[in-house]
Chain A
Amino acid sequence: MDNASRREALESARLEYGRSVDEGMSVAEAARRFSDAIDRRVVERIRCSLQDTCGIDFENAAAAIAVFAVGGYGRRELAPYSDIDLLIVSDRRISEAEVKWIKALVRDLWDDGMSLSQSVCTRAELRRRFQTEVETATSALDARLLFDGGSGPESLQAVVAAASKSKRFTERLRAGLSAEQEKFGARVNLLEPDVKRSAGGLRNLQLARWIGAVRHGCGSIEELGKAGILREDRVECLLAARELLMRLRVELHLHARKTSDMLLRCEQLRIAKKWGYTDAAGILGVERFMRMYFQHVSQAREIVERFADQQNQTPWRRTANRLVSGLQLESGIRLMARRLEVNDAWLNLAEQSDEALAHLAKLAAWHGVDLDERLLDRLDRGDNSGGGAATAPSKTLGRVLLQILEQPGWIARTLRTLHRRRGLARILPEFERIRCLMQFNAYHKYTVDEHTLTMLEYAEGLIHEKGLLGESYRRIGRKDLLHLAILLHDVGKGLPGDHSEEGEKIALEVADRLMLDDEERSTVATLVKMHLELSRLAFQRDASDHRLCMRLARDIGSEELLRKLFVLTCVDLMAVGPGNFTSWRAELLASVYLRCRSMFGVNADGSDDDRLERKRLAERLGGGEIAEGFAGALSLKCLRSTDFSKLRNAFQTWTATNGWPAVISACHHPETGTSTYLVLTHEGCTEGAFHKICGALAAHRLEVLSARIRSFDDGLVMDQFEVQDVHHGGEPTVERIEKIGGTIRRVLSGELTVSDVLWSGRSSSFGPKRSFLTAGNSQIAVDNESSDDCTVIDVFTANRRGLLYTVARGIFRLGLSVRFATIATYEESVMDTFYVVEADGLKATRPDRIRMIRDHLSSDLDKLASDPRSMGF
């Protein structure tokens, strides 16, 4: 037979293989038959090439050489275009004649159309390689003798068995597999998996076989079952997964007419159609097909991992685990070294009650251990409908879910374990919607549920992360709400509308069902709705535009929520796939976050140089708490542009006179055309000093662009206002400062009222002509999470004269005291942040009080918009 005919014959054998599978033969059987056909060809070529090779002493050569089929070929699990792996072993150093023969054999097999992968070595070399190369050892575990010249080479398995006696052999096997999976996708739910090498692929099944062979001398998964080492139902799962993966491989190879193990999107569509997966209501045929695929591989992966874990335990550890009674957490629940162990009563309860299941999950997450194996088995077998309470409102379930999500460390692992067994669906049924949901875009690497759980994993990992992102995550007060928002951020995917908006609706339903309070409800829903906004602003908009940053800050409402959004956005990008969160993106996102954050008046302390400068100033002022507070409270601009003598005079007068009367100094900033007025006073002088000063400044047509307020413990108050003087351009004259200072002092002392000074001035032709504020376009956010000591009121509104005075007076009338405030004016938009406390020095936390603050301030702003004179303007 010539080479062309041989290649044709091999091609026919491949097609026959595919046909047999299509006609219903099991792939395992079809693969065996195909391997036998290959065997016949290879053995024939070995014999022919030996005899044809000139000058070789056939008897001698054959006596020293053995040829093994290794790898998939050795296991008789060949796919149509798999490599044919041969191991040629010689008892002694290979002679020139033998090299000639091997070359002839390799050439002949290639000519036959086989893709050959051969390894030639002496028995001594082989022994050494077994010790050091996991790949060689595993391929030898699958070795099958094809040709033995007669020397009776000691069984390869025996050599491997000797090598694999090493305690670390199984660990090395797993490490080798992990390294390979890192390359091809360490997660099961890859949108485009490699059926052989991705997690849960054929390699995983081979791992079970190898461990079985090394530890128990079992040559196959079936044998592991027969020997009682692996439970029957698990063996069935593994065999079903193997059948599916091998069948897919046959499909992929025959369609590509070459080695092809990637289940690419186009192949998924083709195979789903061929295998009869049709579109159904709300789900495409290809999605149903891939769900089936993921179900099989994730089960298989978990079975193999658990099996490998068990096998890896040394006998003394197993004994120790049995002897250690663990820590009793509750009646019937014990905390063991790596697991939570529950009694039968709890097992039954967890099967029937969703709250009980959630409670056990909470304990597992809190203590960083896995759930009881028996419980997992029951979940595996059960229909997981639970008590059916998941769709009914349950405050208990809501609280327990938030507790599960509270402490970073073991959350993603616990939820992933539950999700695999549909246990999570009993606590959060909305998550089931996105199970194995495909994402048809060029960016995502994982299904929606895997992407979400990966995000959660990354978020938890930030607890030890250095830098802005880690610091932001650590500072988040209610991490449970962030984690819940992560779980829900993509649940709207696959629905007809915008997935952020659909997700918000679902998040609100979840919040109602779990009976979350108003603040929790709005936090989660806002994060879900806005989860793309920060990245949109960073990557697709001109984030140097203050108005865009302010709009985002206004929409998000509070610094704390912005921080949560920043973390959510970053982990969302990370979990798209490896390498997606580049430093380019990270830096851009961080800079936009910082800009938006600064809108809330949250300023960093500045650089180390700035801190040093402040420290020096405090020392020059004589040191002490007040001096440090004074130096620390000055804005950077004021710190840099004011003469030390001026600052010293202001400070000395302030402290010497105990803030009475108010001390005023001003400095001009020519580069911005603005001036900073420093007002030092004492709380005891008057009540509501801040709003009165605002009124006095407004009366002199000073438009406040930003303000910083600092109250010290002994009642000293320091207010700084960066203003635009619409009456006087350039540096304010001494007379102007004196005049303004005089008004402030008289207003503070009660000699004049703000109304008096406001009406004393004539309407200025230099005053702002336009008024942007209209009733109803303001937003007041009250936030108790951003600060430990104060309630934070954020006011987003349009600019107009007297605005700051109105808000400050409103806050004063509400009986709140301003501890710190920042005011920011950007053309027509204003964003003011006030850190306030109640008269008793505590935060305003009662829901009715928060509503009251919001309503009063909104009503004041509406009045200012519609009837300024009613507000004194």
Chain B
Amino acid sequence: MKKIEAVIRHHKLEDAKTALSNIGIRGITATEVRGFGRQKGHTETYRGMEYNVDFLPKIKLEVVVADSMAAAAIEALIKATRTGEIGDGKIFVSELAEVVRIRTGETGEGAI
């Protein structure tokens, strides 16, 4: 099993959710976070008024999938959230030792 964590632009949440749902992924956890990556803070200028933005608002998604689904999930996430600009975010994938469904006690892929 894999745990996929994706830090994405906050307004791409709906697109990401739809994309993952479309390939059969149901359980998604989303957290409102602030990020500081290559995009760093930036200075935006609107008609003479400047905004200094340090940490940028992002959404962190957490999805757990079976090994066989990982590639499809990552591809779906990239397709849904990519704009091609700096600040699109990152996807982190890690091995997962165990999953337990609290209600039934099921474990492993059956609990995803």
Contact = CB atoms under 8 A, between A and B. Distances in A.
Contact of A706 (B13, B47, B51, B83): B47
B48 A603 contact: yes
Given A584-B34, A587-B57, A588-B57, A543 B48 contact: no
Contact of B32 (A541, A585, A607, A636): A585
A540 B49 contact: no
A601 B44 CA distance: 16
A607 B44 CA distance: 14
A725 to B, nearest CB: 19
Interface string B73-90: 000000000010000000
A595 B53 CA distance: 13
A591 interface: yes
A140 B108 CA distance: 52
A542 B9 CA distance: 9
A484 B53 CA distance: 35
B14 interface: yes
A822 B34 CA distance: 33
Nearest to B33: A584
B92 interface: no
A543 B9 CA distance: 11
A603 B51 contact: no
Contact of B49 (A541, A588, A604): A604
Interface string A63-94: 00000000000000000000000000000000
A539 B50 CA distance: 21
Given A540-B11, A542-B9, A582-B32, A636 B48 contact: yes
B48 A588 contact: no
A708 B44 CA distance: 20
A601 B47 contact: yes
A273 B46 CA distance: 57
A636 B51 contact: no
B3 interface: no
A540 B32 contact: no
Interface in A580-634: 582, 584-585, 587-588, 591, 594-595, 598-599, 601, 603-604, 606-607
Given A584-B57, A588-B57, A606 B49 contact: yes
Contacts of A603: 47-49
Most buried by A among B47, B50, B51: B47
B2 interface: no
The interface size bin for chain B is: 10 to 19
Interface string A696-707: 000000000010
A601 B49 CA distance: 10
Contact of B50 (A541, A606, A708): A606
B46 A595 contact: yes
Interface range, A side: 20 to 34
A719 to B, nearest CB: 15
Nearest to A585: B32
B54 to A, nearest CB: 10
Contacts of A635: 48
Contacts of B13: 540
A540 B14 contact: yes
B32 A594 contact: no
Interface in B1-49: 9-11, 13-14, 32-34, 44, 46-49
Contacts of A604: 49
A584 B59 CA distance: 10
A265 interface: no
B57 A598 contact: no
A824 B48 CA distance: 11
A582 B32 CA distance: 9
Interface string B46-76: 1111110100010000000000000000000
B11 A598 contact: no
Residue from B11, B33, B34, B83 with most neighbouring chain A CB atoms (10 Å): B11
A637 interface: yes
A296 B107 CA distance: 46
Nearest to B85: A544
In this complex, the member of A588, A637, A824 whose beta carbon has the largest number of chain B beta carbons within 10 angstroms is: A588
Contacts of B10: 539, 588
Contacts of A591: 51, 53
Nearest to B9: A542
A601 B9 CA distance: 28
B107 to A, nearest CB: 26
B55 to A, nearest CB: 9
B47 A584 contact: no
Nearest to B12: A542
A678 to B, nearest CB: 14
Contacts of B50: 606-607, 636
Interface in A630-658: 635-637
Contacts of A824: 47
A637 B48 contact: yes
A584 B32 contact: yes
A542 B12 CA distance: 8
A598 B34 contact: no
Contacts of A822: 47
Contacts of B14: 540
A598 B49 contact: yes
Contacts of A636: 48-50
A172 B47 CA distance: 57
B27 to A, nearest CB: 15
Contacts of B47: 598-599, 601, 603, 706, 822, 824
Contacts of A539: 10-11
Given A539-B11, A584-B32, A585-B32, A594 B51 contact: yes
B45 to A, nearest CB: 8
Contacts of A708: 48
Nearest to A541: B11
Interface in A545-582: 546, 582
A594 B48 CA distance: 12
Contact of B46 (A542, A598, A607): A598
Nearest to B49: A603
Contacts of B46: 546, 595, 598-599
A281 B59 CA distance: 42
A604 B45 CA distance: 12
A353 B33 CA distance: 54
A661 B55 CA distance: 50
A594 B11 contact: no
Interface string A106-136: 0000000000000000000000000000000
A708 B49 CA distance: 13
A533 B32 CA distance: 20
A599 B32 CA distance: 28
Contacts of B83: 542
A635 B44 CA distance: 15
Contacts of A594: 49, 51
Contacts of B49: 594, 598, 603-604, 606, 636
A587 B11 CA distance: 15
Contacts of B53: 591
A265 to B, nearest CB: 18
A822 B33 CA distance: 36
Nearest to B44: A544
B112 to A, nearest CB: 22
A603 B49 CA distance: 6
Contacts of A540: 11, 13-14
A816 B50 CA distance: 31
Give 4 nearest A-B pairs by CB, closest first: A598-B46, A584-B32, A603-B49, A635-B48
Given A540-B11, A636-B50, 8 more contacts: A542-B11, A585-B32, A588-B10, A594-B51, A595-B46, A603-B49, A637-B48, A708-B48
21 contacts: A539-B11, A540-B13, A543-B11, A544-B44, A582-B32, A584-B32, A584-B33, A585-B32, A587-B57, A591-B51, A591-B53, A594-B51, A595-B46, A598-B49, A604-B49, A606-B48, A606-B49, A606-B50, A637-B48, A706-B47, A708-B48
Interface of A: 539-544, 546, 582, 584-585, 587-588, 591, 594-595, 598-599, 601, 603-604, 606-607, 635-637, 706, 708, 822, 824
